[in-house]
Structure 1
């Protein structure tokens, strides 16, 4: 048996695992595919179209590690937002989406905080989609980030590295 036969046998095994096995085995097969050069890269790129989202995600992260131009192109054409879980829509902002500068959601998913480009901060009840409170800091401060602390306090960060305000 030649080296080429062994490689083809390995690639064929990877192909079979990707076609017929459970998600865990498919992901393991993708990890093995990296050992088979161009042929393995083709299988990983193809796995971005797999019906199992977990397999797509594994392929996506594996391609992130590749320096091959084909891998970079496949990543550019792929929509990684499929991995995000939809939590809620804040109806007030659906038509003004470009005006939100930053947002954060509390760990228990009960509260969210938005800050728009006018520097108005609003705290929302995510269940009712109602504004709990609105405030605007001094006009000289322009927030670049906001966060909710573990004790549900709003932390505003401006000038990225210089100051923070609670």
Structure 2
């Protein structure tokens, strides 16, 4: 429990406080929730950094919220360059097919697994790239992750 003295009302003849007011609030539950959240965040961070495939999480406007280093390498942009951008901005030559798949996943709530995609790299013109992509809906309907694997 936390105790924070707010005011001292009375002192004895030696100047020692003999009456004070304070507040206490049991924050055990909050601290436990903070600890649980930190553990979940650490697991997600480990998953993103250690995954052997590219991973991304998107918001409702299909803007990149989070990507891992593997996906950044696959797409030819840094992690920072992805954040807040749409698929059209990062992968203009593959965007229409990817967006159609996103729309299907959002409409049905069902994942699309191992979809073959190909397109020319914006960063390396003339370089045809092939990937397998799996699109999964989020259980919260707040974000939509997509998994990428190089072929």
Instruction: Give the TM-score normalised by structure 2.
Output: 0.25
Q: Kindly indicate which of the two structures has a greater share of residues assigned to helix.
A: 1
Higher gyration radius (CA): 2
